[in-house]
Amino acid sequence: MKAPEKTADLDDTIFDGNHTPEVSSLLAAIVDSSDDAIISKDLTGTIMSWNKSAERLFGYTAHEAIGRSILLIIPPERVEEEPQILERLKRGERVDHFETVRVNKNGSRLNISLTISPVRDASGRIVGASKIARDITGRVRQEKALREANEALKRANADLEQFAYSAAHDLQEPLRMVATYSELLRKKFGGRLGSRADEYIAFTVEGAVRMENLLRDLRIYTQVCTAEHEPVAEINANEVLKRALQNLDVAIKDSGASVTNTELPRVCIYEFQLEQVFQNLIGNAIRYRSIEAPRIHVTARMEGDEWVFSVRDNGIGIDPKFKEHIFGIFKRLHSASEYPGTGMGLAICKRIIERGGGRMWVESTPGQGSTFCFTIRCGGPAKRESEPEEVFDSSGGG
């Protein structure tokens, strides 16, 4: 095309009639080949032109439409749109991608995206409007279906979470009776019913306690997403780590573990959830220790717009083929007698981190230790702190 300046003046040329016949037919060809309906009207709303796509979309031929009011394609419940559009046009404003409904010759409603621009004559006076109408009925229908499917999914998910929580909670009550009363039985009658009875009672107690732990962890897992509604505040990860270590005090002393850390940042996450993540990861590092005393090091580094935390240990490590498996619910790599636990700890951690928009993974060399990593998005830019210096704890371990 050799006349870009002409196409830029398209609006003007249509009405002023001062173009050459070649340009005129070129413009007509462009308009007719458009996939969108292109209609022009004057300021009274009378249709002045009507392209091929308008014929296809609305069902009226150009002959039927030209000279009639634009109300021809506006459904009765939307007639008030037209005066508003005309008002805007008279002020010289455009209407861009206005999503509305129009009606075709059969009376069917169509979802339409409208772009309407004022058309001026040679003297710059607004004399009408060009209207580009795109049929978005398919898209609107798909969007609606998608939205409905999404909502149904959300509801089903919420129901399922509520169900899991309630089940875990309600199953606990009768279980508590089994557990405490089998213990009471042992306490009051142990040694008096014969050794086999003592053994049976012991199995009952053990089973009940184990079930109790499973239910507790299942509840924590389902609560990760349902419990909190208050907004996430920015918290100091150093303080949270300190509290997690206090909770693990006995395990740390008993195992002779040394836990060190670099200066940790302030991050946006629920405080008790981060505490739980630290506590589970460090608790695991202590539990799955090698013959050496556990050495655990916690660090955080900035990568892009998120903090990458890592908890490194010198424990027994994890076979790479189980790298994903260990984050599943009730997944364990060892028998309960080797290493106690419910198999929920890492699942809970991962869920907490993922609910916050982060990721969690493990890097490990069996026999040499594991490093668990997780990411937390930084708070708003106004709150973002400068990157902390890598200050190592005096007790080393880095």
Q: Specify the pairing of strand 306-312 against strand 369-377.
A: antiparallel
Q: Shortest approach of another protein to residue 343 CB, angstroms?
A: 19
Burial label for 186, CB within 10 Å (0-12, 13-18, 19+), is middle
Element (H, E) at 355: helix 345-355
Nearer to another protein by C-beta: 3 or 175?
175
d(CA 92, CA 80): 19
The letter for the amino acid at 159 is D
CA distance between the termini of the chain:
68
Place of tokens 């899991």: 164
Nearer to another protein by C-beta: 230 or 303?
230
Q: Specify the pairing of strand 95-103 against strand 109-120.
A: antiparallel
Phi, psi of 340 (to 5 degrees): -70, 160
d(CA 377, CA 316): 30
Q: Shortest approach of another protein to residue 285 CB, angstroms?
A: 25
Nearer to another protein by C-beta: 91 or 187?
187
Q: Shortest approach of another protein to residue 186 CB, angstroms?
A: 8
Q: Are 113 and 94 in contact (CB under 8 A)?
A: no
Place of tokens 């240990």: 313
Q: Shortest approach of another protein to residue 165 CB, angstroms?
A: 10
Q: Shortest approach of another protein to residue 158 CB, angstroms?
A: 18
Nearer to another protein by C-beta: 165 or 309?
165
Could you tell me which residues come within 8 angstroms of residue 321 by beta carbon, excluding any fewer than 6 positions away? none
Q: Shortest approach of another protein to residue 273 CB, angstroms?
A: 11
Question: By C-alpha distance, which of 293, 307, 299 is closest to 241?
Answer: 299
Nearer to another protein by C-beta: 7 or 226?
226
Q: Shortest approach of another protein to residue 362 CB, angstroms?
A: 28
The letter for the amino acid at 373 is C
Q: Specify the pairing of strand 360-365 against strand 295-303.
A: unpaired
Q: Shortest approach of another protein to residue 269 CB, angstroms?
A: 16
Place of tokens 């039927």: 64
Which 8-state DSSP code applies to residue 69? B
- Positions in the binding site for another protein (CB under 8 A): 169, 172-173, 175-177, 179-181, 183-184, 187, 208-209, 212, 216, 219, 227, 272
Nearer to another protein by C-beta: 73 or 244?
244
Question: By C-alpha distance, which of 276, 259, 264 is closest to 236?
Answer: 264
Nearer to another protein by C-beta: 3 or 171?
171
Across the chain, the runs of DSSP E, i.e. the strands, are 37-42, 47-50, 95-103, 109-120, 126-135, 234-236, 258-261, 266-268, 295-303, 306-312, 360-365, 369-377
Phi, psi of 226 (to 5 degrees): -95, -25
Q: Shortest approach of another protein to residue 177 CB, angstroms?
A: 5
Nearer to another protein by C-beta: 108 or 180?
180
Nearer to another protein by C-beta: 174 or 194?
174
Nearer to another protein by C-beta: 216 or 323?
216
Q: Shortest approach of another protein to residue 359 CB, angstroms?
A: 26
Q: Are 381 and 268 in contact (CB under 8 A)?
A: no
Place of tokens 């150093």: 238
Nearer to another protein by C-beta: 201 or 378?
201
Q: Shortest approach of another protein to residue 217 CB, angstroms?
A: 11
